[in-house]
Structure 1
Amino acid sequence: MSRCHLLLNRASGGNQRGIDAKGVCRTVEAVFREGGHEMTSTLVPPGKIEQELKRVISTNPDTVIIGGGDGTVSTAAGLLGGTGIAMGVLPMGTFNLAARDLGVPLDIAEAARFLAEAQAFPIDVLDVSGHACLCTTILGFYPEFSNIFEKRDHGGHWWKKTIKLLAGLRSTFMQARPLHLSWESDGGNGKARTKFSAFVPGRYKDTAGLIPARTDFVSGNLTAYVGTHRSPASALRGILEYTLGLHEKNPELTLVKATKMTLRDSRRSHCKAMLDGEILKLAFPIELRILPGHLKVLTSAATLFPEQETEEKT
């Protein structure tokens, strides 16, 4: 029997859309107890996630289930990484990138059943100047634009935010100041004028889809995607190519695979970044390094190792 604890962020996007937080706690507790686990839960008010998580970690549970958006999950990953305590992700946010990446169903009851039966596997974490990144860190026009509508529409549906992004792409892209990035890495050095760059642990899947999805969770590498698009039309074309799974063939996208990377800007001392859905102000130089197997997560072997699953079936 494993000892588990659920921490649910009261201010998550799911709560803003009317999901009953207390009802979620009851559902998760019931499912885990039916599966033979000990389960307790805490509803955490805004701004208290770190404090409460540190308290829970001090009790040395086997697993902590995090109910919240990607920002909450990233915060938890930073604290749980290296402890040996497994983290489960309960999708309570807007995009729920981490949950999607780890194969967790988006329906709460189904997610609870999945997590109660899942195994704990170690995965890589991307350290971004001391911040834990599970999904993606984005520099350029997107953090600027997202900061505006997130303040206004926190907790909205992901597809509504995607439509707003596309509708405002032209004006936002044109107004955004470019970054004059240079990078040094063990995968090569370079420089570019860019209005969009993304850095992920592992890499993006080269399959069709609107929402970014990662693979190579235990590769020991990070991948940098540095866009050199000069116009809204070319940026829109890049988005279209991504949705079709053709982004790695885009001539206006430079890909760098590395284990560590240093970013500098010849004209700025800092910039805004979106790290797993949260807007941060990062100072240059920005240091990125992959932390192999740093965090244990609840998922399935089929999600982490799809190639092995395919080989077994054939």
Structure 2
Amino acid sequence: MRFAAVLNQDGGTLRTTDMAAFAERLRQTLEAVGHSVQIDIVTRREVAAALEKAVAKRNVDVVIAGGGDGTVSTAASLLMNKKKALAILPGGTMNLFARGLGIPQTLDGALTSFAEGEVTAVDMASANGRPFVHQFSIGMHARMVQLREKMDFGSRLGKMQASVRAAWATIKNPRTLKVSLTIGKTEIITRATGISISNNLFGEGHLPYADDPAGGLLGIYVSVARRRRDLVKLFLAMLRGRWRDSQHVEIHQADKAILKIHSPTKKFSAVMDGELFGLERETVIEIHPGALKVLVPARNVQTKAA
């Protein structure tokens, strides 16, 4: 296969990696089994343009996106419904979409998996036409990201610590939104502290990522917790992957959901694949089955086929 790699040197673990040495290992690993690769090492600001350039190349079969959730999400958006496949180098803090695909969580482990990997199709989702691969959230999660973005951190560990501090600040002063959520023929009207909609239902017993990235349904999570102690319990349940054990979250599945904000506040924010953006009062979230081709370890394709 013919690869084009875009490596975000400012992303997560790549920030503290010898990029020249790693690029050489990438080249040697792929060329040793007959592949070819073009490598572009860029800054965070240059990622989008570099990915657009890689996707536009005719002589490329697979685009490698090296970086965090933002880098991966940008690459996936550009590759949605394209013939080219996405390969993920997990250089972020949590790498949740990569985990769902069975990608090894070390950079060198991921490289080895690419050498003998196979292409399969997985789902994507969108919010008012804007694609995402992992999760769309409003309420507490968006507030937490807003607070975290104001903190200083220079490493993956630092970002994790900042996330915990931001989460606690959000839990201490919870806010609610009056919303309606239409799922099929059912309309839910509630005051929620948070709503998250994932690209396929999160699995149980681990961090929040989908066990089946080609399941064809959105996972819809509505937090009904309002008291501080209940929000702490919900946060801990989320980290342990015990969503279904929590009495403070309502879980639904659908291929489409319509979210309407009825609170009087003029401006709202949502977080999608880790990035903040302005939210409209009405948002249509849909799943797009098989819209993204990805390169995964060969055994994962074999297991799903069985």
Fold conserved (TM > 0.5)? yes
Distance in 1 between the 2:29 and 2:150 partners?
35
Percent identity over the alignment is 26
Asked whether the 8 Å contact 2:180–2:260 carries over to 1, the reply is: yes
CA drift at 1:227: 0.4
- Larger displacement relative to structure 2 (56-65 or 295-304): 295-304
Asked whether the 8 Å contact 1:215–1:304 carries over to 2, the reply is: no
Matches for 1:284-299 after TM superposition, within 5 Å: 284-299=281-296
Asked whether the 8 Å contact 2:268–2:278 carries over to 1, the reply is: yes
Give the secondary-structure state (helix, strand or coil) at the position aligned to 1:261: strand
Residue of structure 2 in register with 1:274 after alignment: 271
Matches for 1:243-254 after TM superposition, within 5 Å: 243-254=239-250
Residue of structure 1 in register with 2:6 after alignment: 7
User: Unaligned regions of 5+ residues in structure 1, if any?
Assistant: 310-314
Asked whether the 8 Å contact 1:187–1:259 carries over to 2, the reply is: no
Residue of structure 1 in register with 2:132 after alignment: 133
CA drift at 1:54: 2.0
Asked whether the 8 Å contact 1:178–1:193 carries over to 2, the reply is: yes
Aligned length: 304
TM-score normalized by structure 2? Answer: 0.91
Asked whether the 8 Å contact 1:104–1:115 carries over to 2, the reply is: no
TM-score normalized by structure 1? Answer: 0.88
CA drift at 1:14: 2.1
CA 161–57 in structure 1, closer or farther in 2 if over 3 Å, else same: closer
Residue of structure 2 in register with 1:201 after alignment: 199
Residue of structure 2 in register with 1:90 after alignment: 89
1:225 to 205, 221, 226: 221
- Larger displacement relative to structure 2 (227-236 or 267-276): 267-276
Give the secondary-structure state (helix, strand or coil) at the position aligned to 2:214: coil
CA 44–186 in structure 1, closer or farther in 2 if over 3 Å, else same: same
CA 79–306 in structure 1, closer or farther in 2 if over 3 Å, else same: same
Superposed CA deviations along residues 35-58 of structure 1, whole A, max 9, x for unmatched, are: 210111011233222222222222
CA drift at 1:19: 1.2
- Larger displacement relative to structure 2 (99-108 or 35-44): 99-108
CA 307–68 in structure 1, closer or farther in 2 if over 3 Å, else same: closer
Quick one: which amino acid aligns to residue 250 of structure 2? T
- RMSD of Structure 2 on Structure 1 (CA): 2.2
User: Unaligned regions of 5+ residues in structure 2, if any?
Assistant: none
Distance in 1 between the 2:12 and 2:164 partners?
21
- Larger displacement relative to structure 2 (285-294 or 91-100): 91-100
2:260 to 241, 258, 264: 264
Residue of structure 2 in register with 1:23 after alignment: 21
Does 2:52 correspond to 1:57?
no
